[in-house]
Amino acid sequence: MATEDVDSRFIDLDAWSLASAMEAMWEGQLAAVAAVGRALPAITAATDAAKEALGDRGRLIYVGAGTSGRVAVQDGAELPPTFAWPPERLRFIIAGGESALIASVEGAEDDVADALKQIDDVRLSPHDVVIAVAASGTTPFTVAALQQAGTYGIVTIGVASNPGTALLSSAKYPVLVETGRELIAGSTRMKAGTAQKVVLNLISTGIMLRLGRVFRGMMVNMQTTNTKLKLRAELMVTQIAGCDQSQAAGALEQAGGDIKLATLMVLGYDKAEAEGLLASHKGNLRRVFADLTHGHSE
C-alpha cells in the first residue's frame, strides 16, 4: 500500500537540513489537500445522500482507529457548538474507546468483536449515517464496523487513501483520496491525516449547508456560549435584519440566544409566530424569507 511504502526521494530526510525538511513536509501537505480535489464528485455524492437520510432525526456516527479516529472526533465534536447539531444525534465509535483519543490502546484497531459490539450498541435506524475513516483502508476495526453498519441498509461513507481496499468496497459511498507515500513511511498523521480532515470538513459542512444551518455564509445555528460568540450573534442579527446592535442584543436575549428566532423577532414577529415560521420551514431561514417574499408579492 502506498501509505506504507518508503518514498525513495526522502530516504535520507533525517540527514537533510531542517529548512529543507520543513519545505518538503509543507509541500506534502499541499499535495494532500490537492488530492482531495479529485475526490470531489464522490464527496458531493456522499454528502447529498447523508443529508437526505439524516433529515430532522438521523444521527451522524463517526468510526475510526488511531489517528483516523482522532481526526473523526475532532470533526464531529465541532458540530454542536458551530451548527447546534444535537449531541444526541452524534456518536463516535472509536477503537479502544475514549481513552484511545489521547493514548494508544494496544491491539484496539484489530478488535473486530468490539467494532461489531459498538455498532450494535448504537441501535442504528434507517436515518443514521456512518462515516468510517482509515488511511490504509484496511484497519480491521473500522472495516468491520462499516460492514456491520451496512447490514442495516443505511448510508455508509468510507474514506481511505489506498485504492481497492476493503473499507472502500464495503462503503455505499466510497471516498478515495490518493495521498500516496508519506515522507515518513506509514506516518499517516501527515498527508493522509490532512486529507481526512479536509474531506470530513467538506462532508459535515456540506450537510449543514443543505440542512439550513448556514445562511448567507453565517453559522446561524451557532450556540452563543461565550462573550465572543454573543457579539458575533448580535452582528449576524444586525446584518440579516438590518437593525442596530442594541435591538439585536435585546432580541437575542428574548430568544434565548437563537439567532434565527431573534432575527424574525426584530422583523416584527412575536416569539410564537417566529417559532411557528421556523418550525414550518424546518428551521431553514432562507426558505422562511423566500416564502414571505413570495407571499408579499401576491
Task: Tell me which of 294 and 132 has the higher pLDDT.
Answer: 132
Describe the strand order of the beta sheet including 155-160 as a list of residue ranges.
90-94, 60-64, 129-133, 155-160, 173-176
* Residue 181 pLDDT class (50, 70, 90 cuts): confident
Task: Tell me which of 102 and 205 has the higher pLDDT.
Answer: 205
Average pLDDT, the chain: 93
3-state secondary structure of 266: helix
pLDDT at residue 298 greater than cutoff 50:
no
Question: Nearest CA to 203 among 153, 147, 132?
Answer: 132
Question: Nearest CA to 131 among 211, 35, 199, 55?
Answer: 199
* Residue 242 pLDDT class (50, 70, 90 cuts): very high
What is the arithmetic mean of pLDDT over 8-23? Answer: 91
pLDDT at residue 48 greater than cutoff 70:
yes
pLDDT tens-digit series, residues 121-160 = 999 999 999 999 999 999 999 999 999 999 999 999 999 9
pLDDT tens-digit series, residues 210-220 = 999 999 999 99
Question: Nearest CA to 124 among 136, 114, 135, 116?
Answer: 116
Task: Identify whether the C-beta of residue 212 lies closer than 8 Å to the C-beta of residue 285.
Answer: yes
Please classify residue 293 by burial: count the beta carbons closer than 10 Å to its beta carbon, then call 0-12 exposed, 13-18 middle and 19+ buried. exposed
* Residue 297 pLDDT class (50, 70, 90 cuts): very low
| Phi and psi at residue 273, to the nearest 5° | -65, -45
* Residue 295 pLDDT class (50, 70, 90 cuts): low
Instruction: Select, from the ranges 5-9, 65-69, 166-170, 278-282, the one with the highest average predicted confidence (pLDDT).
Output: 166-170
Active site residues: 78, 109
Cα 280 from Cα 155, distance rounded (Å): 27
Please report, rounded to a whole number, the percentage of residues in the chain having pLDDT higher than 90.
Answer: 83
- Gyration radius (Cα) of the chain, Å: 22
Task: Tell me which of 183 and 278 has the higher pLDDT.
Answer: 278
pLDDT tens-digit series, residues 81-127 = 999 999 999 999 999 998 888 887 878 999 999 999 999 999 999 99
Name the H helices within 151-284: 166-170, 191-210, 227-241, 245-254, 259-266, 271-280
